[in-house]
Amino acid sequence: MASLAQAIRMALHYGESKLSVDDIFGQDVGPPLGGAFTVTQGLTKSWNSPLDERGIIGMATGLGLAGKRCVAEIQFCDYIFNTLDLLKLAGNASWSSNGEFNMPIVVMTPVGSGIHGSIYHSHSFDAWAARIPGWKIVMPSTPLDAYGLMLSAIEDPDPVLYLIPKALMRAKGEELIPGEPSSDKELRERIDAPVDPKARVKWKANWPALEYYTVPIGKAKQLREGSDATVISYGRQMSLVTQTADMLRERGVNYDVFDLRTIYPYDWDAIKQSVEKTGRVLFVNEDTEIANFGEHLLRRTCDELFYSLKVRPRLLAGKHIPGIGIHPNLENVSVPQKNHIEQEMIALVEDPA
Amino acid sequence: MAGKKLSPEKLREIHALMVEARILEERLIKMNKAGEGYFWIGGPGEEAFAIPFGMLINKGQGIQHDFLHLHYRASATILAMGGESIDSIRQMRAVSTDPYSGGRNFVNHYAIKKWNVVPVFSCIEPQYLQSLGTAHAQREAGCKGITVVTGGDAGTAEGDFASALVWSSRPAGELPLLMIVTNNRYGISTPWEGQHGEKYISDRGTAFGIKNAVINGNDVFEAWEGLESAMNYVRKERKPFLLEISVSRLYGHSSASGAPRWNEEDCIDVFEEKLIKQKVMNKDQIKSVHDAALKKITDAYKQVQKEAFPDPSSIYDYVWTEQNGDKGRDSFAAQIGVDFTQNPPPAEHH
């Protein structure tokens, strides 16, 4: 099965060969490196930009104004902060011009902790991103969704921010991407660039016959079905939630678990239906907890589903501190780990109604 | 002599547009002072370069035509391209018929897709970054379109200007980009002299191998020649050019500073003296051009006064791209779960 990085790479290849993507660019995106996480290896439309995040987002926005589809990368979301005003401009191109222009671009960037990335390679961006109207924001947690969401993002007429949970880059999926060879070894040999620099210069990817497959933007995915409580998450924490749900199922507790997949426009119908069924809900993500996106979901839950709730709704998020410390003793208490998730999920069902 | 090839007819056309552009801006300022509009910013004093600029553009939609990333002093350029004065008056009054923003944006913040005029914004300098993208799209062989970006002198202190120099001159991808800096020697209220050590902004192009020049933007002939030569270079060579144009700022930065008339050289006076001297026009003819422009602008102003303000519920239009004539509302409503019919009824606004 493809890893998340391989899945995105294949989606980008589908984009450059079938969906008119002419520019896939950013720092180290082109050869020889093909991206800090190998996401852009072997692509024919990838190129290296100057080390200039504002230039990268500006270039992408200009391409969008020219009606071109592109995928730009910011190497780590920790470095996207100096482009916030440019993201705002991209998000308001349609609205401010009263519909004269649209902005069919994709910006992708790795987010979150989990690779001992210290202060400048561990930040989250989902809460910031959700505050930039005009954008659609997606965040896959599996390779198949990563493939399908990238194709949807490329085809979307509006700007899409594609957040990649970097701790999952090497995580393999459980479902084949349409057209993906079933052998890991074969896939590796066909689309992973050789490590040897000399061999890499001559290397060309031998792409499998990939097929069109999309995941609609705005649709959550139900991962586990249960009637005792609801857990909504996305990104890196998703698999920790499902693992915990499976473990607790053995103890007789059944959780409704959803991967939001799209942070905006999020799938309120899915949340609403589940909360109305269970009356108990926990939102989990790793961004810092103040003005966290989960806080918005909590607010809407209280506003619209108050009388369906049996107990207080909960949010488990990262600590509101200026960074993630590099030592595991620090990182593991800064962002939700499996033990925190387990603790909250148990507390959620044990809260007296 | 510079601009020799401009025929008398062309000179008269330029003059009429300069006068209309000036009277338009003066009307916009007056409207703001009378409370008929919330803010004024514009480009009176820049007509001698702005009109030739608009006339020299390869106008149209798509990469075969020029892309324009303008800042908020380009009213005369839009007029010279064929834009209507009445539309600027509409944007000033923020009526729903404002074609550039539907009553959402400041005056002189255009967006005209059919002429590749991308949305103008108030932020200083990101237009230099966005211009890289349209120029990159035009870089492909055989493309005749170029990208032109404009900004002021103070804005060149922003890193985005330096980014444009770096990116447009990359050996891996030189761009057909004309960067125009209009130097009026002020950043809002702050004089140039205290903030900039460089003699000419255009000198910064030299370090990147970018061809550059400085021209007098108060002289129609010099401006025409300088612009034409720079545009031809970019069009033919597919390489960047940095053009610094010295201009007057006749009514200050914006309405925030009261927009009083400043004592600086007026390019229309300069031009009219030359037209008389060259016997292209006489004083009576010049006066009748002013009278006709004033009548046109006054009539347009009266018309706009009758037009409706935007409907409050239009705030949801075009958050996202229109699909099937829905102004982007249906998909937005469906995806965020908003029922537009439940919005409060539109309130009258006077």
Query: A interface toward B at CB cutoff 8 Å?
Result: 23, 47-50, 52, 54-55, 57-68, 70, 85-86, 89, 93-102, 104, 133-134, 157-158, 218, 265, 268-269
pLDDT at B304: 98
pLDDT at A197: 92
For an interface test with B, give the residue of A63, A84, A97, A272 to mutate (most B CBs within 10 A). A97
Which pair of structure tokens corresponds to residue A65? Answer: 């104004």
Do B287 and B334 belong to one domain? Answer: no
* B2 occurs within a structural domain: no
Domain boundaries, chain A: 4-202, 221-350
Residues A301 and A307 sit within 8 Å (Cβ to Cβ): no
Strands of the sheet containing B177-183, edge to edge, are B67-69, B147-152, B177-183, B241-246, B211-216
Smallest Cα distance from B195 to chain A, Å:
23
A89:B323 CB<8 A: no
Which pair of structure tokens corresponds to residue B246? Answer: 């010295």
B119:A134 CB<8 A: no
Residues A239 and A172 sit within 8 Å (Cβ to Cβ): no
A58:B128 CB<8 A: yes
Write the DSSP symbol of residue A103: -
Interface membership of B63 toward A (CB under 8 Å): yes
CA pair distance A330, A341, nearest whole angstrom = 17
Least confident of A39-43, A122-126, B184-188, B267-271: B184-188
Residues A70 and B130 sit within 8 Å (Cβ to Cβ): no
Beta strands (DSSP E) in B106-226 are 147-152, 177-183, 186-187, 190-191, 211-216
Residues B149 and B180 sit within 8 Å (Cβ to Cβ): yes
CA nearest to A91 within chain B? B319
* B3 occurs within a structural domain: no
- Start-end of H helices in chain A: 4-18, 53-65, 84-96, 126-130, 143-155, 184-191, 197-202, 237-249, 268-278, 293-305, 328-334, 338-350
Of the CA atoms within 13 Å of residue A90, those in its CB half-sphere come to 35
What residues are paired with B67 via a beta bridge?
B147
Do B301 and B318 belong to one domain? Answer: no
Count of domains observed in chain B: 2
B319:A95 CB<8 A: yes
Name, in order, each residue with C-beta under 8 angstroms of A351's C-beta and a sequence gap of 6 or more: A280, A310, A311, A312
Q: Which numeric CATH code is attached to A221-350? A: 3.40.50.920
Binning pLDDT at 50, 70 and 90, where does residue B4 land?
low
A95:B135 CB<8 A: no
Nearest to B136 among A62, A104, A218 (CB): A62
Classify A4-202 by CATH class: alpha beta
On average, the pLDDT of chain A sits at: 97
Domain of B320?
Answer: 313-342
* Range 73-102 of B in CB contact (< 8 A) with A: 98-102
- Burial of residue B185 (CB within 10 Å: 0-12, 13-18, 19+) is middle
Say which residue, B169 or B333, is predicted with more confidence. Answer: B169
The residue behind tokens 């003059």 is B15
Report ipTM for this prediction.
0.95
pTM for the model? 0.96
A100:B126 CB<8 A: no
Helix axes B159-168, B126-138, angle to 10 degrees: 20
User: Distances in Å between the alpha carbon of B88 and those of A189, A281, B77, B84, B300?
Assistant: 60, 52, 12, 7, 10
Averaged over A171-200, what is the pLDDT? 96
Do B228 and B324 belong to one domain? Answer: no
Do B210 and B335 belong to one domain? Answer: no
Reply yes or no on whether the pLDDT at B1 is more than 50: no
Asked about A121 being catalytic, the answer comes back as: yes
B97 contact residues in A (CB cutoff 8 A): none
Reply yes or no on whether the pLDDT at A200 is more than 80: yes
Do B121 and B240 belong to one domain? Answer: yes
- 3-state DSSP call for residue B327? coil
B134:A59 CB<8 A: no
Least confident of A82-96, B234-248, B311-325: B311-325
Averaged over B312-322, what is the pLDDT? 90
Do B39 and B158 belong to one domain? Answer: yes
* B349 occurs within a structural domain: no
* Range 302-321 of B in CB contact (< 8 A) with A: 317-321
* B223 occurs within a structural domain: yes
Give the count of beta carbons closer than 10 Å to the beta carbon of residue A335.
24
Q: Which of B129, B127, B128, B147 is nearest to B137 (CA)?
A: B147
* B190 occurs within a structural domain: yes
Q: Which of A6, A338, A3 is nearest to A191 (CA)?
A: A6
B323 contact residues in A (CB cutoff 8 A): 157
Do B338 and B248 belong to one domain? Answer: no
Residues B14 and B73 sit within 8 Å (Cβ to Cβ): no
Write the DSSP symbol of residue A3: B
Phi and psi based region of residue A67 (left: phi greater than 0; alpha: psi -120 to 50; beta: remaining):
left
Name, in order, each residue with C-beta under 8 angstroms of B309's C-beta and a sequence gap of 6 or more: B94, B95, B96, B103, B349
Q: Which of B243, B227, B267, B265 is nearest to B54 (CA)?
A: B227
pLDDT at B341: 58
- Burial of residue A184 (CB within 10 Å: 0-12, 13-18, 19+) is middle
Beta strands (DSSP E) in chain B are 67-69, 147-152, 177-183, 186-187, 190-191, 211-216, 241-246
Do B192 and B235 belong to one domain? Answer: yes
CA nearest to A83 within chain B? B126
Q: Which H or E element spans position B270? A: helix B267-277
Q: Which H or E element spans position B21? A: helix B8-33
* B347 occurs within a structural domain: no
Q: Which of B44, B12, B57, B6 is nearest to B267 (CA)?
A: B44
Binning pLDDT at 50, 70 and 90, where does residue B323 land?
confident
B322:A99 CB<8 A: yes
pLDDT at B342: 54
Please give the distance of CA A14 from its chain centroid, rounded to a whole number: 19
Interface membership of B163 toward A (CB under 8 Å): yes
Reply yes or no on whether the pLDDT at B349 is more than 80: no
- Burial of residue B345 (CB within 10 Å: 0-12, 13-18, 19+) is exposed
> DSSP assignment of A273-312, as one string?
HHHHHHS-EEEEEEEESTT-HHHHHHHHHHHHHGGG-SS-
pLDDT at B331: 75
Asked if omega into A32 is within 30° of 0 (cis), the reply is yes
Interface membership of B131 toward A (CB under 8 Å): yes
Reply yes or no on whether the pLDDT at B344 is more than 50: no
* B176 occurs within a structural domain: yes
B126:A89 CB<8 A: yes
For an interface test with B, give the residue of A59, A92, A136, A272 to mutate (most B CBs within 10 A). A59
